[in-house]
Structure 1
Amino acid sequence: MNQAELHRLLTAKSQERKGNILLSSYEQRLAVNLSLIKTQFFSLYQEKEHKAFFYTLLDKLETLYNDRPKDLQNQDIARLNSGNWYQSEQMTGMQLYVDRFNKNIKGLQEKIPYLEDLGINFLHLMPITTRPKGENDGGYAVNSYHDIDPEYGTKEDFLAFSKKAREKNMFLMLDFVVNHTSDEFIWAKKAKEGSQHYQNYYYTYSDRHIPDEFEKTLPEIFPQSAPGNFSYNNDMEKWVMTCFNTYQWDLNYRNPEVFIEMLGNLMSLANLGVDVIRFDALAFLWKKIGTSSQNLPEAHTLISLFRMCLQVIAPGVILLAEAIVAPRNIIKYFGEGAAEGNECEVAYNASLMALLWNSIATKKASLMVKSVTEIPTKPSDATWINYIRCHDDIGLGYEDDIVRATGYDPYAHKQFILNYYCGKLEWSPAKGLMFMYNPKNGDGRITGSAASLLGLETALEQNNKNIIDYAICKILMLHGIILTYGGIPMIYAGDEIATLNDYSYQQNEDQVNDNRWVNRPMQNWKTVTSLNKQKDKPSSIIHNGLKKMIRLRKDHSVFADTNNIKVFSCPNEHIFVYQRIDENKSIWVLSNFNEVTETLNIGWLLSIGIHTDKNTVDLLTGEPIHLIQNELPLKPYEQLWIKNI
């Protein structure tokens, strides 16, 4: 597209407003977003030097739009006219590894009835595209963005699966590893063969001068297994930036060609029938000497540019921010200031996840209450993914000033949490592992399945019914929170049947150095088969409890995410209380994080709108709430969903 064509488009848009001319759907979206696309592009790339690349980008947009399958284009248009489907109370997700869930893509399709029965209609499939053999960071070292790894099947298998998912009104999310490629990716191969053009797609240097300047302020992501942020490549005889692992090369988005090429890769993924694109490691996208190269303004501009272009080509597809960063930084990935709402429509609520684990360890909700009430409100058209566990480790991204205000020393408190979950406190029932402990600053993360971290593994070993019951209540309570808090609940496959830690990774040479595999188990279909036969087993109790809560969520429009949540500062620091509001209807969720019964006074309950007569019921039991001497008791780890009838 040249300047004359661009002028014609803008003129036509102006005339259309006056009713003189009709533009195609594509031209309308391009005209609406064009000003912002241009602004964002030239704020990253100097106009004088890179003007030709801007017109290359416009041509690319048209080509990518024309390449979009017609049925997906029709779906895009339908979604433009149907509101924000991703904020609905009907959404309930599951994250899974296809091969560990049921062998391959065809095996996954066979299990759609199981997912439907539980109430799952949104699937995050871990990477299924080609990757290096051996170590590949669980598929996040990509050899291709759209070719299906033969281990999982063929592209035709996936297209058949995505079509079946659409027929079932089931939404799909796949990862777009936007920060890096594997060292076997075609660009990296050409770079290693000596192509300066493709070496410029990455951060490559002939000596250590610039890498050493970067290292002064760059943190280490994997200090134990991959210390430092640069690796020497013998083929190129150069240093290449590898912030994650030596086989994952960071992309150089200072080069506009990289952005344009990656936009094409993004659409190749979307055209497989994907509804949500998970932007992996997006906080790292822009690198700058003298900074941590995380959460930089240019990274936000780049994400906004991706979104504006995606809205032109495929407006029915949305973006998820995988930004596991401090709470005040997470909120920014929705977009802020003049660009509010112009980045990702969805983001992981990593703060809530970490705070839930904090409350389990401390038996108090006070840090969670203070933290969530101090985070700015997200844009009205955005939503969260709320989760307890995922394929990754648990990072303790608390805000130090809020930790201090709650009465804790930040360093000592983090050490306590790590010790509680990683086997260093004899009285703790948690069975987790320390991940990537950094002795330089005492930082570390936690791995383990939800059930093992919440004490079920220990309880079963001890055959202690009391502790087993506590663990079951904790598992259900945390899931109850993610199902009722504002956003899309995401259940990690296996958690719905209380799967314990999987220690078999220790015998696998490709996994032994990454203990995150302890919480990446094979789905136990034998346990699933016995759910209705052994109803007193923890797996059955948890599965049936989750199934009931998912149904209740979908039955109440109050759980749609319209920024309609109010978190209360509760007089009892062990109880977490929030209200979901929909016009004149409300549901209050109360969760006791203590191992003893806690109470709330009738006066406080009335002050937040909860009636205390026989017409006020707990939706989970269907029974009226009962007060004892004007106090509402909550048993250990009990949760109530209270509704005034």
Structure 2
Amino acid sequence: MNQASLHRLLSQKGKDSKELFDLRLATNLTLIQKQFFSLYPEERHEKNFKKLLQLLPKLYLERPEALRNQDLQRLKSGNWYQSEKLVGMQLYVEHFNKDLKGLQEKIPYFKKLGVNFLHLMPITTRPKGESDGGYAVNSYLEVDKKYGSKKDLLELTSALRKNGIYLMLDFVVNHTSNEFSWAKKAIKGDKKYQNYYYTYEDFTIPAEFEKTLPEVFPETSPGNFTYIPEMEKWVMTVFNSYQWDLNYTNPEVFLEMLANLVKLTDLGVDVVRFDALAFLWKKIGTISQNLPEAHNLISLFRMCLQVVAPGSILLAEAIVAPTNIVKYFGEGEKRGNECEVAYNASLMALLWNSIATKKTQLLYKSLMHVPPKPKDCTWINYIRCHDDIGLGYENHLIQELGWNSEMHRKFLLDYYCQRLDWSPAKGILFMYNPKTGDGRITGSAASLLGLEKAIATKNDDLIKESVNKIIMLHGITLAFEGIPLIYAGDEIGTLNDYSFQNDASKKGDSRWVNRPRQDWETISKLEKEDSPQSAIFRTLQKLIKIRKENTVFADHNNLEIYHTGNDHILSLERTHDDKRLLVICNFDENPQVIDSSWIKKLGYFSNGEPMDLVSAEKIALNSALLEVMPYQMLWLMKS
């Protein structure tokens, strides 16, 4: 049993809030102590551990009473984040509707679509020039003026709570900007704050790190260290020269960041997205990603947050190999005691692979290869986000299919990045490394799935095919175990936005092609016009409604994957109590058939014809074969 389960039991005892805090602290104390001293040896850091024990009750007492009451309600209600009723959207505030007040005005739009979980891209202060889309933070708690004020944020979170909408914000846990208060003090020579980062007087130690550290942005930010003339020192900058990596080997950094984390949830944040958490611990001779110490540190954050603010949870932003992603839920005694939620980046990348190849073999192989997640944890499932599409498939699985892994990745880059005339995709290469041939893909879902090319060529058949692809991929994320997350604009088939090429601060980053402004003019016409955009919106609206009405979509570790004998088809089943749902998807441009005998054995035709929830029609089985149309998705509910 993980610690959260114990806290739920404690919350049933009817004690007052402070007594329950004391019980949570007592329950977590052994694990907190073990994780702390695993990172910071007891013989040297007992004083720092005492500081932590003094900090936790202080942070608890500072937490707003309304949120403390909400914490207790959520503990009693169970794992709210595994509910079938959750459907999310990720967005840039300034691109969606100006600022935080403008966003608040659009709450009716979210409710109309069925969205009740929002991930806002960074809204805190950042450098005026390049800021990695806001992930170079000048502050963890102050709102950038272009979004409004902290008061506006508090008003927004209050309005969201009243409307049953959850909020996720980023916590850039790995680094700060070079304009952050700690960095400024370090530049002025303050030794205390120089020790908050990895700083070195010469390049001897950085040279040792560089032997094994990969480059995150090889085109725009080669290397992992930057020389700071004012400080006369080198500083570790794994992402960009203006993003300084925090030195978590210093326990003072952990204590400061824990306080920032809790204060962020005090603003009304329900889910905290731990950005770049795979990079948290650095060690010479390693790639300094996914290290055991990083997992211990994340668990330490989680155990402390559970004690102070148990109604808020952590999301792992770990875009790593499938077998490594599951580790961020926790393993061994940490199982279920790291992050409650993680991005299902593997599913996302595998779906794009299946679209390009029209085959599902790698999808099946990879999904079957991922270890089961803890029962109290869940995924966020998505097809696009603000970031690129990485091709982080496991080489040995590609090779087991008889494919060359290097050539297969080249094919995917060619297919999506306009290197093949016959491909309908209109994507752009991101961070291509000619030395290795590695690269990533960016572009909007609609453009990558052919809608941009179809509209430009006025090809009605291709338009229909593209719309079906868009609906099918979103339908898979809605049906898979976890929280479905729609990237703002995808619900209306928004195309690539090439205007970033005219902005000096953006033109070097092709990811901006997939960061368009919300098209409110198109949205205003959705009910008046019969367009691809309205078809996508109406269908997603319908699928979201179906999901929320059926408890079979809740995440109870109730997903089973079935091989159909047809490599173009994906099939999975969701079950809960006496309810069963079979999802069947065709990734090919031609109709495909599957042997229906295994569906009969599952009992879907035992009491008559099953209902397809997508079309609201019963599925007749007049032969031994079931035909699935191009890019069709069936949601068969057992009658």
**TM above 0.5, one fold?**
yes
The 5 Å alignment of 1:380-529 reads 380-529=375-524
How big is the shift at 1:62?
Answer: 1.2
Matched AA of 1:512 = K
The letter of the residue matching 1:538 is P
| Matched residue SS, 2:319 | coil
Give runs of aligned pairs for residues 45-444 of structure 1, distance below 5 A.
45-444=40-439
TM-score between the two structures when normalised by the length of structure 1:
0.96
Contact 1:371–1:402, Cα closer than 8 Å, also in 2: yes
| Offset of residue 631 of structure 1 | 1.5
CA contact (8 A) 1:394 1:447 kept: yes
Distance 2:255 2:106 in 1: 38
Query: What's the offset of the Cα at 1:436?
Result: 0.3
Partner AA of 1:430 in structure 2: A
Question: Does the 8 Å contact 1:614/1:625 carry over to 2?
Answer: no
Deviation at 1:613, TM superposition (A): 7.0
Aligned equivalent of 2:620: 626
Structure 1 distance, partners of 2:602, 2:499, is 49
Instruction: Tell me which residue corresponds to 1:10.
Output: none
Residue in structure 1 matched with residue 25 of structure 2 by the alignment: 30
Q: Which amino acid aligns with 2:551?
A: S
Mapping of residues 527-606 of structure 1, within 5 Å? 527-534=522-529, 536-606=530-600
Q: CA separation in 1, counterparts of 2:604 and 2:211?
A: 55
Offset at residue 609 of structure 1 (A): 3.4
CA contact (8 A) 1:205 1:211 kept: yes
Unaligned runs of 5+ in 2: 1-13
Given residue 519 of structure 2, which amino acid in structure 1 is its aligned partner? N
> d(CA) in 1 for partners of 2:493 and 2:17?
57
How far did 1:23 drift? 7.3
Amino acid at match of 1:498: G
- 1:611 aligns to 2:605 (yes or no): yes
Question: In structure 1, what is the Cα distance between the partners aligned to 2:276 and 2:564?
Answer: 36
SS in structure 2 at match of 1:81: helix
Equivalent position amino acid for 1:265 in 2:
N
Deviates more, 1:627-636 or 1:294-303: 627-636
Equivalent pair of 2:446/2:470 in contact (CA under 8 Å): yes
Q: Match for residue 11 of structure 2?
A: none
Paired residues of 1:40 and 1:304 also in contact (CA < 8 A): yes
**CA deviation vs aligned residue, 1:443-488 (integer Å, no higher than 9, x gap):** 1110000000000001111100011100000000000000000000
Q: What are the superposed Cα offsets for residues 358-378 of structure 1, whole Å, 9 maximum, x if unpaired?
A: 000000111101111111110
Q: Could you tell me which amino acid in structure 2 is paired with residue 558 of structure 1?
A: V
Q: Secondary structure at the match of 1:24?
A: helix
Output the CA distance in 1 between the equivalents of 2:391 and 2:119. Answer: 23
The residue identity in structure 1 corresponding to 2:53 is: L
**CA–CA distance in 1 between the matches of 2:369 and 2:582?**
20
Conserved? CA contact 1:122–1:170, under 8 Å: yes
Deviations 1:321-374 (A, max 9, x none): 000000000000000111100100000000000000000000011110111111
Task: For residue 440 of structure 1, report the CA deviation from its aligned partner.
Answer: 2.2
Mapped to 1, the partners of 2:139 and 2:363 lie a distance apart of 40
Q: What is the deviation of 1:632? A: 1.1
596-605 or 387-396, which moves further after superposition? 596-605
Q: Which amino acid aligns with 1:193?
A: K
Task: Tell me if the contact between 2:609 and 2:620 (Cα under 8 Å) persists in the aligned partners.
Answer: no
1: CA distance, partners of 2:363 / 2:223:
34
C-alpha separation in 2, matches of 1:456 and 1:49: 61
Maintained 8 Å contact 1:104/1:151:
yes
Distance in structure 2 (CA, Å) of the matches to 1:319 and 1:102? 27
Work out whether residues 627 and 633 of structure 1, in 8 Å CA contact, stay in contact via their aligned partners in 2: no
Alpha carbons 2:168, 2:271 under 8 Å: kept: yes
**Deviation (angstroms), 1:608:** 3.5
Partner of 1:12: none
Distance in 2 of aligned mates of 1:313 and 1:83:
17
Q: Distance in 2 between matches of 1:610 and 1:596?
A: 25
Per the TM alignment, residue 624 of structure 1 is displaced from its structure 2 partner at its CA by 1.1
Q: Which amino acid aligns with 1:173?
A: M
Cα displacement (A) at 1:614: 4.6
Contact 2:330/2:338, CA 8 A, preserved across alignment: yes
Amino acid at match of 1:450: A
- Residue 612 of structure 1 and its aligned partner are, at CA, apart by 7.2
Asked if structure 2 preserves the Cα contact closer than 8 Å seen for 1:334 and 1:382, the reply is: yes
Cα deviation code 1:488-541 (max 9, x no counterpart): 00000000000000000000001011010000000000000000111x211000
The 2-side partners of 1:116 and 1:61 are apart by 37
Shift of residue 46, structure 1, vs aligned partner: 1.1
What percentage of residue pairs aligned between the two structures are identical? 61
> More deviation in 160-169 or 396-405?
396-405
Structure 1: distance between partners of 2:252 and 2:536: 50
Contact 2:221 2:240 in 1 (8 A): yes
CA shift at 1:630, angstroms? 2.6
Contact 2:177 2:242 in 1 (8 A): yes
C-alpha contact (below 8 Å) 1:72/1:273 kept by paired residues: yes
Question: Structure 1 residue 606: deviation in Å?
Answer: 1.5
In 1, the alpha carbon distance for the partners of 2:225 and 2:638 equals 59
Q: Does 1:41 align with 2:28?
A: no
For the residues of structure 1 that align with 2:49 and 2:86, how far apart are their CA atoms? 38
The structure 1 segments of at least 4 consecutive aligned residues displaced by more than 4 Å after TM superposition are: none
In structure 2, do the counterparts of structure 1 residues 452 and 22 end up closer, same or farther at CA, with 3 Å as the change threshold?
A: closer
- 2:77 aligned counterpart, secondary structure: coil
Cα distance in 1, alignment partners of residues 207 and 593 from structure 2? 57
Most deviating of 23-32 and 448-457: 23-32
Contact 2:564–2:595 (CA<8 Å) still a contact in 1? Answer: no
Kindly indicate whether the alpha-carbon contact (under 8 Å) linking 2:17 and 2:68 is maintained by their aligned counterparts in 1: no
- Report if aligned partners of 1:612, 1:625 keep a CA contact under 8 Å in 2: no
- Cα displacement (A) at 1:235: 1.1
Give the 3-state SS of the residue equivalent to 2:388 in structure 1: coil
How far did residue 628 of structure 1 move?
Answer: 5.2
Residues 570 and 251 of structure 1: is their aligned pair in 2 closer, same or farther, counting only changes over 3 Å? same
Aligned partners of 2:288 and 2:266: how far apart in 1?
A: 31
